[in-house]
Structure 1
Amino acid sequence: MENTAPGKTALNDTVLHAISTHTQAENPSAFLAMSRGTSAFTAPGLDGVIAYRKAGRYLVQFGGPFAAADSYRPLLDRFVAHAHGQGLRVVGAQLQRHDAQAYAERGFTVNQFGSSWAVHLPDFTLRGTRFMRMRNKISRAFRSGLQVREVPAEDMAGAIREIDTAWLGSKGADARPLEFLVGELGGPAQQHRRLFVGTIDSRPVGYISYSPVYGSRAGWMHDLSRRIPDGTPGLMEAINSHVIDIFRAEGAQWLHFGFTPFTGLDAANELPGHSPSFQWLMHFLWEQGAALYPAQTQLAYKEKWAPQAPITEYVAFDGPASVAAFAHIFRACNAF
């Protein structure tokens, strides 16, 4: 059994191969497994990886195993044994339906956590009355002098830091930059991402980073995005609409908007053995949990683009559903 540390070229290649090849779970956020600070668990003789971070007494797993079909469950078994051997428990976040069923069969308590959202680009249009307000905001942004261009991240490092500092400062004195289940810029995986920056009068005022998505809904993920606070209305919509035109021209099929916790909850998607009390908690956090995560604000932005039906994502507990284990997902994300 081998527990590999992040940051090595060979490991990056192993993880990239796994997430781009073993796509049966159809996890649109799989590229997050490439983030710095996220470890990859492998085992001799098994084809696949498990992405995770340690937080307190938990190994917080991102997605299910990115593994060949015959290695999937053996790799999960070894990972759980690896955790238990250290006196730790496993909690998995952003599991897809394929993963959720496998974990439930293994004895995990599995509940809905939220949903991902995606737009089928060949069918996408901003025409019609539904998009009138957004078209007006986008036009206003471009009339303000906004220009959008794709740039190498290393060429914009200083500007990105300035935008990030201003954006984080607007979130309050205790705000922290999220990690793990949120994208990043830089590091060995940056060569696979695409960065688009908006400028007004040559000053960078916002950016959106896009990461690749593999599987039957291959395309791009609208990932990390930041802007100068109190700037031009419609700025991010204008950047994204410009990028959509580029992706459509390139023949991309899907633009994913990523995972938002507590959204798209539907009792019909719960699995046998789920926790009713945790199910209640997810609905409560959708209504009252803005201090923990601004799910309603995030969903409002995503719904502007008329996404397809939500892609349900799950959380899995190694034992009964636990608020402590759930909290450690957010701890792994640097939320506190």
Structure 2
Amino acid sequence: MPSVLDALAAHSDNPSSFLALNSGNEYFRDDRSDGACAYRTSGRYVLQFGGPFCAREHRARLLDAFVAHAGRRLVAVQLQRADAELYAAHGFTVNQIGASYAVDLSRFTLRGSRFVRLRNKISRARRAGLEVVEIGHGDDCAELDGLDRVWLRDKGRHVKELRFLVGQRTGGMQCHRRLFAGRIDGTAVGYINYAPVYGSRPGWLHDLSRRRPDAPPGVMEALNATVMERLVAEGADWLHFGFTPFTGLDPREELPGASPLFTRFAHWLAAHGEAVYPAASQLEYKQKWAPHEVLPEYIAFLGRPRPGAVWRLLRATNAV
């Protein structure tokens, strides 16, 4: 049977699908298809990441089999629109939970008045001596491990590192990702890990990123701009900036049968939930690059939404 990675490469149209390969996930397979469902458990709940990763004609059958396996306390998160419609047709309550953002690299430019501030930040970091290097798989990353510790400590004593819906820099799948670090005077001041993206908008996902608290302004922007220039030269199609919950919420994107209560909850978190998830700062960074596509993403509850399901999702992501 093909690997989960093979299934993603062949069938996924979710820009964050590579996160299904995070350590800690489990996989459900059905002998009648070559795909898989990625999930993890939290308390009594089963939390599925993305939809069924398989050929389109097998998606409904794989979903039915997974529902029978998972039971009633099933929640699926980061569904794309086609996934959302499938789940709604199978008795799930489906709500928009956020959006993902993507830049068409064939149209990428930093020229024009709208990018003046971004160009100034990039120039400032480069004048400070920023050099961007790609870190090869298997290279010593002890310095980046130290940067992670400094970054997390600066966030505060009660802040925990997010997981499940964000990528990783370690593990056996790192050989498929690309890791770029920014150095000033030989010291790493930031890094960005990029994951492959398959489907109708293939390219790379700007995923896990870290920055030293004392790094000069513009370091991350200059680091990403340098990588984007390289990707353009290599002929890559898209750079995805990934999913940000509680952003891009639009009543026109909701499906029939969406829960009004969950809609109000999502909008409340959009306005007041910065302590739960730093959505505003993430969105500000992504909008700097003037994304060409804003894609709605969804959450699906088998039956009606339950407070316990939302709590368990927040626990699984380490947001609380």
TM-score range, shorter chain: over 0.9
- The answer for unaligned runs of 5 or more in structure 2 is none
2:254 to 253, 270, 275: 270
Q: Counterpart of 1:222 in 2: which secondary structure?
A: strand
Describe the superposition over 1:216-242 as per-residue Cα deviations: whole angstroms up to 9, x where unpaired: 100000000001013210000000000
Describe the superposition over 1:49-89 as per-residue Cα deviations: whole angstroms up to 9, x where unpaired: 001111111110000000122321121112111122xxx61
Q: Distance in 2 between matches of 1:83 and 1:248?
A: 42
1:200 to 184, 191, 207: 184
Name the amino acid aligned to 1:101.
Answer: E
Describe the superposition over 1:190-239 as per-residue Cα deviations: whole angstroms up to 9, x where unpaired: 11100000001101110000000001100000000001013210000000
For residues 30-109 of structure 1, the aligned pairs below 5 Å read 30-84=17-71, 89-109=73-93
Q: 1:156 to 1:335 in 2, by over 3 A?
A: farther
Q: Distance in 2 between matches of 1:44 and 1:304?
A: 45
RMSD: 1.2
Contact 1:110 1:314 in 2 (8 A): yes
In structure 2, what is the equivalent of residue 135 of structure 1? 119
Q: Counterpart of 1:310 in 2: which secondary structure?
A: strand
For residues 323-334 of structure 1, the aligned pairs below 5 Å read 323-334=307-318
Deviation at 1:22, TM superposition (A): 1.1
Deviation at 1:189, TM superposition (A): 0.8
Q: Distance in 2 between matches of 1:246 and 1:70?
A: 37
Q: What TM-score comes out, normalization by structure 2 length?
A: 0.97
Q: Counterpart of 1:217 in 2: which secondary structure?
A: coil
In structure 2, what is the equivalent of residue 247 of structure 1? 231
Contact 1:154 1:186 in 2 (8 A): no
Contact 2:178 2:193 in 1 (8 A): yes
Contact 1:153 1:185 in 2 (8 A): no
In structure 2, what is the equivalent of residue 16 of structure 1? 5
Name the amino acid aligned to 2:4.
Answer: V
1:209 to 186, 193, 201: 193
Describe the superposition over 1:119-163 as per-residue Cα deviations: whole angstroms up to 9, x where unpaired: 001111111111111111111101111100101253242111111
Deviation at 1:305, TM superposition (A): 0.2
Q: What TM-score comes out, normalization by structure 1 length?
A: 0.93
Q: Distance in 2 between matches of 1:151 and 1:38?
A: 26
Name the amino acid aligned to 2:237.
Answer: Q
Contact 1:198 1:239 in 2 (8 A): yes
Q: Distance in 2 between matches of 1:58 and 1:161?
A: 32
Q: Counterpart of 2:95 in 1: which secondary structure?
A: strand
Q: How many residues align structurally?
A: 320
Contact 1:80 1:89 in 2 (8 A): no
Q: Distance in 1 between matches of 2:127 and 2:56?
A: 52
Contact 2:103 2:293 in 1 (8 A): no
The ranges of structure 1 where at least 4 consecutive aligned residues each deviate by more than 6 angstroms after the TM superposition are: none
Q: Distance in 2 between matches of 1:226 and 1:153?
A: 18
Q: Counterpart of 1:112 in 2: which secondary structure?
A: strand
Identity of aligned residues (%): 54
Q: Distance in 1 between matches of 2:73 and 2:51?
A: 15
Q: Distance in 1 between matches of 2:300 and 2:100?
A: 17
In structure 2, what is the equivalent of residue 6 of structure 1? none
